[in-house]
Amino acid sequence: MRRVAAESAETRRVLAAVDRLEGERAVLLVEGVEVPWPRGALPAGVREGHILAVDLRIDREATARQRGRIRDLLDRLTKGGQAPEERG
């Protein structure tokens, strides 16, 4: 599918074709690439052949939280501490 003009510099809209529905998953075609997707995460009434518009944007708050978690983990690992998963 081709990219559609974005509404802002930080948002991109792509089109995803619903190629097929297989049990609890759907297979979307996004710019020629098959993407498995949970069927329950699609809008109600979606059928094979429907075209979905997907807006992609950077979530700056979630990115900052993730970077903080990674920084904390690296600090623990480089200072000899245990990663949270390794604690009993």
Residues 20-64 pLDDT 10s: 999 999 999 999 999 999 999 999 999 999 999 999 999 999 999
Of residues 67 and 4, more confidently modeled: 67
The 3-state DSSP class for residue 72 equals: helix
Q: Identify the CA nearest to 40 among candidates 54, 57, 26.
A: 26
Copy the structure tokens of residue 54. Answer: 């997907």
Element (H, E) at 59: none
CATH code for the domain defined by 3-80 = 2.40.50.140
Model confidence, pTM: 0.66
pLDDT for residue 1 is more than 60: no
| End-to-end Cα separation, the chain, in angstroms | 48
